Structure 1
Amino acid sequence: MASSKSSVSDKDKGALIAAACRDRDVPALVRLATSTAGLLSDGLRRTAWPLLLGCPEHDAPPPPWTERPPHKDEHQVGLDVARAFVYYPANDSHRQLDRRRSDLSSVILHVLRRHPALCYFQGYHDIVQVFLLVLGAHDAAAAVARLSLLRIRDFMLSTLDPAISQLHLLRPILRAADPELMAHLPTSQPSFALAHTITMFAHNIHDYADITRLFDFFLAHGAVMPIYLFAAVVLSRRDDLLDIEHEDEDVLYVTLGKLPQPFDVEFHIARTLELYERLPPQSLGSWEWWKISSSSVLRTAATVADVRRLTLQDGERFLMQQEKNIRRQQALCKASQNALYIKRHICIYRRYGYVGLAFIVGAYALWLGRRGPNARYFLYGSLGDLLNKFIGRSAS
């Protein structure tokens, strides 16, 4: 998909990338993928991306995914795949697009059926279609499986809570980088960044050369880089954002959710690196970073070396631990809500209990009065017990 035109420097760099892939020199490949223009072409990426993800060279072919039970999210996969390949590749015929969508569906279902604990999210197909175009249908599934379990696992859990926890890191990053700008931004949950970060920006960048270049950068660094890129984009728009009235939260919110156009990929990658090196997450000293799960990709996939060291089984183990943490948090949240509910009703009871008692006793007396003198005698015998119960409960 890359242009056939190459400068002399591009040819020299291409030779260096090819040599790094051949020698499996990952540190050199990281430097080359980070530098201007990244990995240059899809031909080089076909070797480099699986290497950066730690894909085994000679893995035994797994049993066909079609023999496995359907995944629970396959209906949504079908809906999203039908909307794929809108912006690229250009000039494909309807028949070619149908074939690409069929291949895309196969890659996604291959991953989901082989790893059924993963939950599909809308926008996942935006990521996978880039891998399909670069690696081809045959090699994309193995790379996407490792990406899913080891780098974007936080987005493929039963809730989006871990994804939202990642977004909350924007606050301490922006606060440390530019306190004035941070104070001007909306205080609501930063979900304006979700579509960008959860899809590695593939949902919002419509130029194929730009998104493959950005993927070079992301795959050469830790899983937190999409968060830092978004923060860098916000900082680059400082003047525009400060020109919007602080009270116009809706306008600020909408503006934050859009990328600047045209989007200068190289400029924003350079700003992201600068920001990350100056303010790495562990230096923030923030509650937002402290509360990130030890099983989150932000901690288990902090570097390319971490990703390459891990196996798919490690990814599934971390996923199960994260799901366990999610269930624990949900139980704690439910218990807290129940405690608040009980406390509120105790307060209501203490405030209105005696009024309610008077009403009940009055109605009871009226009913007994109609039942005759024997019933009145019963009233006097039981009223003491009723009062004792109410007074005892109120005291407690």
Structure 2
Amino acid sequence: MHSDPESSERPARSDGRCRSPAIHHDSQQRTAQISLEEKAEAVRDACKWKDIAKLRSLAESTGGFLTDELRRSAWPLLLGLSPDLMNDGVDTSFDAQEAVADWEQLEPHRDEDQVQLDVNRSFIYYPNDKSEAQLNKCKSELLVLIVEVLRRHPYLCYFQGFHDICQVFLLVLQPGWRARVVARLSVLRIRDFMLPSLGPTTAQLRLLPDLLAKADSELRKHIATIEPFYALAGTLTMYAHNIEAYGDIARLFDVFLAREAVFPIYVFAQIVMSRRSEILDVEEPDMLQVMLAKVPPNMDLDSLITNAASLFDQFPPESLPSWRRISKSSTLKTARHIETCANQTLDDGRAFFEQQAKEVRWVETRDRISMAVWRYRRPIRAIGMTTAVAAIAFYLRRNPSAIHYVTSLFSTLSKA
């Protein structure tokens, strides 16, 4: 894979702070130094004027934002944190819960034990220029980052792989920015993955077969029996679980933060299509599952991003059949336009979360009704299956706590 051209502007540090690994130039990158300097200036200018559209264009172009120094300005801005509102690394535009200075005094989050287990397994591939003591410090900082975000926003549900995302932000950002940026990412951009059910995540994955059917019907037909869960690790973690080179994952984050929340689905579709011949040669379903789940190394990331963007333009999400089944409160729709998302507050995100969680509970209740109706289908035939389900569903939507009484009723009828 192409490493991002991180310059030698990052000096060696003696304070032990966990920072991103140094990335070395090759001769081609040195030859292109003038154009890189021009692009770097363009990124600085876009950040100065808070030009989100320009940042999006720069993120999609060769090399993305180029260096971590530039990312430290661009990433917070793309997530709606203005440098004008920062004072010594502390954002002054947060809600009452954020106003609690000492997050350690907040109630422990229910998922903290799992967080600790995952943090213990972090920083496997990068940074690779740190001592064991320095890596342990990185892990300590990562644990603090994740736990702070979860305690300040206790309604969020931690998922395995969230630590992969957070370690990238930890390596790029200054300490004062980390929790603020990750909080906005969590609440406004990847909120669907932090709901108490996998339902919304699964709904996102259903877009992938639709997209492949439109872009390459032969390939889609060949893998039609394979459920799209092969894309789960990639899309769930913004590919941080799949990509082993720091420069590559930082470069991908540039475009993911600058694009719509659905864009990682388009990237995965493009990865699958780029392996078309290889996939068509395999017939065994189990082998196909393994092959589809693997994100290949040494990809040309710039070409991948360009092609995924073209795929998006050709087949926008609204053209995909499964888009209609995506909740209006899903991040795919509330973050459909980055400028809109950047202006949303954490309170907005929580409201979307609560609405979608309510929808998830309703779907689960409906499924339980369907199971109950099927189980006690004989007595129901007398009143008509469709009519019964519709009536019961309407009643339970207004009185969800009555599910147990309905089940008991069916049980009584079945014994009659």
TM-score by length of 2: 0.80
Higher RCO structure (Cα 8 Å, ≥6 apart): 2
C-alpha separation between the residues in 2 aligned to 1:344 and 1:211? Answer: 56
C-alpha separation between the residues in 2 aligned to 1:20 and 1:176? Answer: 35
C-alpha separation between the residues in 1 aligned to 2:378 and 2:69? Answer: 65
Asked if structure 2 preserves the Cα contact closer than 8 Å seen for 1:186 and 1:253, the reply is no
Q: Is 1:169 equivalent to 2:214 in the alignment?
A: no
Local SS of the residue matching 2:291: helix
Q: Is 1:10 equivalent to 2:36 in the alignment?
A: yes
C-alpha separation between the residues in 2 aligned to 1:262 and 1:226? Answer: 18
| Match for residue 307 of structure 2 among 265, 271, 287 | 271
Instruction: Give the equivalent residue in structure 2 for 1:23.
Output: 49
1:167-316 matched pairs, under 5 angstroms:
167-245=205-283, 248-284=284-320, 286=321, 288-316=322-350
| Match for residue 117 of structure 1 among 155, 165, 189 | 155
Q: CA deviation at 1:346?
A: 7.9
Change (3 A) 1:335 1:346: closer
Asked if structure 1 preserves the Cα contact closer than 8 Å seen for 2:103 and 2:152, the reply is yes
Local SS of the residue matching 1:163: helix
Asked if structure 2 preserves the Cα contact closer than 8 Å seen for 1:152 and 1:297, the reply is yes
Asked if structure 2 preserves the Cα contact closer than 8 Å seen for 1:169 and 1:227, the reply is yes
Letter in 2 for 1:261: P
| Match for residue 45 of structure 1 among 71, 74, 79 | 71
Asked if structure 1 preserves the Cα contact closer than 8 Å seen for 2:60 and 2:302, the reply is no
Asked if structure 2 preserves the Cα contact closer than 8 Å seen for 1:104 and 1:137, the reply is no
C-alpha separation between the residues in 1 aligned to 2:57 and 2:228? Answer: 32
Q: Report runs of 4+ in structure 1 exceeding 4 Å deviation.
A: 344-347
Q: CA deviation at 1:260?
A: 2.0
Instruction: Give the equivalent residue in structure 2 for 1:325.
Output: 359
C-alpha separation between the residues in 2 aligned to 1:261 and 1:129? Answer: 20
C-alpha separation between the residues in 2 aligned to 1:257 and 1:188? Answer: 11
Instruction: Give the equivalent residue in structure 2 for 1:72.
Output: 110
Q: Which has the larger radius of gyration?
A: 1
C-alpha separation between the residues in 2 aligned to 1:295 and 1:162? Answer: 10
Q: CA deviation at 1:263?
A: 2.1
C-alpha separation between the residues in 1 aligned to 2:175 and 2:128? Answer: 19
Q: CA deviation at 1:110?
A: 0.9
C-alpha separation between the residues in 2 aligned to 1:209 and 1:344? Answer: 62
C-alpha separation between the residues in 2 aligned to 1:243 and 1:190? Answer: 19
Q: CA deviation at 1:53?
A: 0.5
Letter in 1 for 2:315: L
Q: After superposition, what is the alpha-carbon deviation per residue over 1:59-81, rounded to whole angstroms, capped at 9, x for unaligned?
A: 33732210100000000000000
Greater helix percent: which structure? Answer: 1
User: What RMSD over aligned residues (CA atoms) do the two structures have, in Å?
Assistant: 1.7
C-alpha separation between the residues in 2 aligned to 1:139 and 1:113? Answer: 17
Instruction: Give the equivalent residue in structure 2 for 1:389.
Output: none
C-alpha separation between the residues in 2 aligned to 1:270 and 1:41? Answer: 20
Change (3 A) 1:342 1:111: same
Instruction: Give the equivalent residue in structure 2 for 1:375.
Output: none
C-alpha separation between the residues in 2 aligned to 1:172 and 1:339? Answer: 31
Q: After superposition, what is the alpha-carbon deviation per residue over 1:159-218, rounded to whole angstroms, capped at 9, x for unaligned?
A: 111001000001110000011110000424211110000000000001000000000011
C-alpha separation between the residues in 1 aligned to 2:305 and 2:332? Answer: 19
Q: After superposition, what is the alpha-carbon deviation per residue over 1:59-117, rounded to whole angstroms, capped at 9, x for unaligned?
A: 33732210100000000000000111110011211111111111111110111000000
Asked if structure 2 preserves the Cα contact closer than 8 Å seen for 1:126 and 1:203, the reply is yes
Q: CA deviation at 1:3?
A: 3.6
Q: CA deviation at 1:309?
A: 1.5
C-alpha separation between the residues in 2 aligned to 1:179 and 1:135? Answer: 42
Asked if structure 2 preserves the Cα contact closer than 8 Å seen for 1:39 and 1:213, the reply is yes
Q: CA deviation at 1:304?
A: 1.4
Q: CA deviation at 1:29?
A: 1.4
C-alpha separation between the residues in 2 aligned to 1:333 and 1:147? Answer: 31
C-alpha separation between the residues in 2 aligned to 1:346 and 1:55? Answer: 56
Asked if structure 1 preserves the Cα contact closer than 8 Å seen for 2:226 and 2:285, the reply is no
Q: Is 1:55 equivalent to 2:89 in the alignment?
A: no
C-alpha separation between the residues in 1 aligned to 2:136 and 2:296? Answer: 32
TM-score by length of 1: 0.84
1:345-356 matched pairs, under 5 angstroms:
none
C-alpha separation between the residues in 1 aligned to 2:269 and 2:249? Answer: 18
| Match for residue 147 of structure 1 among 185, 202, 217 | 185
Letter in 2 for 1:43: E
Letter in 1 for 2:68: D
Asked if structure 2 preserves the Cα contact closer than 8 Å seen for 1:84 and 1:126, the reply is yes
Asked if structure 1 preserves the Cα contact closer than 8 Å seen for 2:226 and 2:289, the reply is no
Instruction: Give the equivalent residue in structure 2 for 1:361.
Output: none
Percent identity over paired residues: 48
C-alpha separation between the residues in 2 aligned to 1:23 and 1:323? Answer: 37
C-alpha separation between the residues in 1 aligned to 2:380 and 2:46? Answer: 69
